[in-house]
Amino acid sequence: MDVSTTINLSAPERERIRNIFVCADDAALEIKLGEVSRAAIQEHLDMFLGTGAFTRGNDFREHRLAMLILHTFGGRIPSESDVSKMFQSTRTGSRSLLRATMSKYQILLERAMKATLLALVNDATPQGADSHRIVCDSPAFIEQLNQTLAALPNPHAPISPIAAEVGRYTVDNAARDDLLLALQP
């Protein structure tokens, strides 16, 4: 079904929303808002059809975030800072919302989680001859990577934070190679 709508945003409002979704111009913003609209419509349809009958405020926020992940973020899980911008929440609140959403909707979001983790590992940069550096502002993603490592048949040292560098982690080359294989779609 094709549904369309028109909205009016002031120039400052457009600029703010472009910054949230990292859109270069109004054309990119229009595409992104179309994706957000699909997520919102799906959220309402789930409610109307009884597949999303929620009783707690957090249930609504978790479901909304799951729909945004599926329809707006290109099949990837947003960072804590992105969630903070969208939901006007603190980093701690965003971290809790992300964890709860990833837990509650783990089957629905499995491909998005794998794609997010694969991108983190794939984008890691060499750090000396024996390891790679992962840049990540969401500790929940590092926890997921370590859980994936723990489930592998070959034991590996966990991904660990780099001292005195916030949001920077180190992973040994063998663990990175195994993660790249394990996270393939």
CA dist 105 and 54 (Å) reads 14
Say what the pLDDT of residue 38 is.
86
Can you list the alpha helix ranges (DSSP code H) found in 22-109? 26-48, 57-71, 80-87, 91-104
Region 47-54 average pLDDT: 72
What sign results for the dihedral spanned by CA atoms 145, 148, 154, 155?
positive
* Residue boundaries of the structural domains of the chain: 11-108, 114-182
At 118-177, the pLDDT tens digits run 999 999 999 999 999 999 988 989 999 999 999 999 889 999 999 999 999 999 999 999
Enter the tokens of residue 10. Answer: 């002031």
| Cβ–Cβ under 8 Å, residues 145 and 179 | yes
Strand order in the sheet with 160-161: 125-127, 131-135, 168-172, 160-161
Question: pTM of this prediction?
Answer: 0.76
Say what the pLDDT of residue 15 is.
92
Say what the pLDDT of residue 53 is.
63
At 87-127, the pLDDT tens digits run 989 999 999 999 999 999 999 999 999 999 999 999 999 99
pLDDT of 25 above 80 = yes
| Cβ–Cβ under 8 Å, residues 42 and 67 | yes
At residue 13, φ and ψ (nearest 5 deg) are -65, -45
Say what the pLDDT of residue 178 is.
96
